A and B are shown apart, each in its own frame.
Chain A
Amino acid sequence: MNIILAHLPVLQVAIPLIAAPICVLFTFGGHRKLAWCFTLVISWVSFLIAGALLSHVLLEADISYAIGNWPPPFGIEYRVDPINAFVLLIISGISAIALPFARLSVEKEIENDRHILFYTSYLLCLTGLLGVTITGDAFNIFVFLEISSLSTYVLIATGVRQDRRALTAAYNYLILGTIGATFFVIGIGLLYMVTGTLNIADLAERLKPLSDNRAVHAGFAFIVIGMALKLALFPMHVWLPNAYTYAPSLVTVFLAATSTKVSVYVLLRFLFTVFGPTYDFVDLTFEFVFLPLALLAMFAGSITAIFQTNVKRLFAYSSVAQLGYMMLGVSLSNIPGLMATILHIFNHALMKGALFMALGCVAYRLGTVSLSSMKGLGRSMPWTMGALILGGLSLIGVPGTVGFISKWHLILGTLEAGYWPIAILIVGSSLLAVIYIWKIVEVAYLENDVDQNQVSKEVPISMLAPLWVLVILNFYFGIDADLTTWVARNVAETFLGGGA
């Protein structure tokens, strides 16, 4: 047992990684259900490992694990600290909750003979995301990032049975994502050139006397742009709406809740652990790059969402706006602001997970998620639409939900930094969210002329249960935010206090 505990960090990644080729073996015999079941078990195991890592890190100390026993900085190090462990929990948690939902959803949306490969790609994606989060080596981040991205492109493309635009969406994401990852690699290369190390902790040390070095500035710029592309910061978000809309429901649920968050995490890691706000050029980036782009994202995302007729696309644009909130928190560079970003990583995963899962349920029954087809759905699918509306309330930031907790800290952060007008803007963009959520409410609940031919009844319990788990978590962590705020404060203080 102790051996297992000692090697938990590497097991977090190794288990899904090895599970992926094993999953392919299920092709012999065509055991689709078994493939799903296997993926479910692996997700749950990952979730338990992540939970164990988080509790260890919160209660005892950070974990440093040397792969193959090669000591860092020569070998690759897996380093687990509170922010890491938190994001690991989110990724594996969302996966664990989404997979029970997956059985019927994937059944409906993807050809039978592709299921096993689908679940294999899913496991690879999980591996990649977990790997990016847990590793302490910069190049290793790139490798796992590409593992997750490549499997993401495949997962998105499997939506081709519903709509052929999934293919072009995946292709465009491939091009843009690869450019982003390559920029990231250029940045790492420049940093390596100057410091001679790839280990994150070591880079932080060695960069300290080098703050005037041009190569360092260039490296920083490349890394920021590369990750900004991956996390869909406005205006580099163009791949996101199509990718989320045309992907199968499960993929959208998983991606919306995790992939961009992982990129936010990587950016945070580089901004605060490797570099740090004491560097002039980092500070300038916050003020002149992140802040205006975040504000633009908030408004452009919300306003575009209002005019969408496809509800999945609506929520995709809403995600762009939410990422704007996260970047706004980063750009404030004070404790409440950074807490808001970290809280929102968690809270947004819960919110969008619930919303896209509800849409997945709608798609399961209706085959479409256009707004006009949802007329009167509040009556025929009360549980699904109820969950959708409650998730929407969380998105708006009604007190009592997780959305409120993030917004509160964000506004507190902006006021502490003295940016009065921005606080008003945050409030304003929340009101924009009210508009597009209420569009859905009106169509679902207040339509009198419902198409009587539309046959829809509630989805099976195996889809409703994970959905309502997420909804309840939205409210639970909105009322009892102790754990999440503690972790967020811990991390923010490390990043802003000791990290610099």
Chain B
Amino acid sequence: MVDALISHYNYWLIIILMMLGLYIVVSRGNLVKKIVGLNIFQTSVFILYISLGKVSGGTAPILTGKPETFSNPLPHVLILTAIVVGIATTALGLALVVRIRESYGTIEEDDILIAERSQEVSEPNGGTV
């Protein structure tokens, strides 16, 4: 039991980070904090990929001419792509938060919901496009 815990520590870490990230997204009302949670969630996925690329006894996947065991370089490449995607998502999310702040004056989800509800009430017939 303890053996399984220790030998698979990377997966435990991944699970903890994943759950942390998701929990933050769900429980926090501040829009920026949600994006932070999303980032943590995505980071856990990066670690998942990278950690599964490691070959026991393998070294960095750089060709040196000597016959050696190399770790798998493919996950690294995939994660570079995923990191870029993550950055773009974060940037876009934060840009949206800035615009929401300009428009609503707040970045707390609860306050925004209240503002939207009152907007709905004032235009009972479905409102604008």
Contacts and interface: CB of A to CB of B under 8 A. Distances in A.
28 contacts: A109-B129, A139-B81, A150-B92, A153-B92, A157-B96, A164-B103, A167-B100, A167-B103, A168-B116, A170-B96, A171-B31, A171-B93, A171-B96, A175-B38, A178-B38, A179-B22, A179-B25, A186-B48, A189-B49, A192-B52, A310-B126, A367-B128, A368-B127, A368-B128, A370-B125, A370-B127, A372-B126, A373-B125
Interface stretch (B1-9, B57-65, B82-90): B82-90
Contacts of B49: 189, 192
B82 to A, nearest CB: 6
Contacts of A310: 126-127
A143 interface: yes
Given A157-B96, A185-B45, A309-B124, A163 B129 contact: yes
For the complex of A and B, 10 pairs with smallest distance between CB atoms: A370-B126, A310-B126, A309-B126, A372-B125, A370-B125, A164-B103, A162-B129, A363-B129, A146-B85, A171-B96
B88 to A, nearest CB: 6
Interface in A301-335: 308-313
B82 A185 contact: yes
Interface of B: 22, 25, 31, 34-35, 38, 41-42, 45, 48-49, 52, 75, 78, 81-82, 85, 88-89, 92-93, 96-97, 99-100, 103-104, 112, 116, 119, 123-129
A310 B129 CA distance: 8
Contacts of A178: 38, 42, 89
Given A182-B41, A189-B52, A192-B52, A165 B116 contact: yes
Interface string A153-174: 1100101101111011011001
Nearest to B113: A168
Contacts of B104: 164
A171 B100 contact: yes
Given A178-B38, A186-B48, A153 B126 contact: no
Contacts of B31: 171
Given A189-B45, A371-B126, 10 more contacts: A163-B127, A163-B128, A163-B129, A167-B96, A168-B116, A170-B96, A178-B89, A189-B52, A192-B49, A310-B126
A143 B81 contact: yes
A189 B75 CA distance: 9
Per DSSP, are chain B's interface residues mostly helix, strand or loop, or mixed? helix
A89 B22 CA distance: 37
Nearest to B120: A165
Nearest to A147: B85
A182 B126 contact: no
B25 A165 contact: no
What's the interface size class on A, roughly?
35 or more
B45 A159 contact: no
Contact of B78 (A139, A146, A154, A369): A139
Contact of A179 (B38, B78, B126): B38
A304 to B, nearest CB: 14
B85 A193 contact: no
A139 B84 CA distance: 14
Given A167-B103, A182-B45, A367 B129 contact: yes
Given A146-B85, A192-B52, A309-B126, A175 B42 contact: no
Given A370-B127, A371-B126, A174 B48 contact: no
A249 interface: yes
Contact of A174 (B81, B93, B129): B93
A11 B104 CA distance: 43
Nearest to A245: B129
Contacts of B75: 192
B90 to A, nearest CB: 9
A386 B81 CA distance: 48
A186 B37 CA distance: 17
A146 B88 CA distance: 9
A270 to B, nearest CB: 18
A154 B96 CA distance: 9
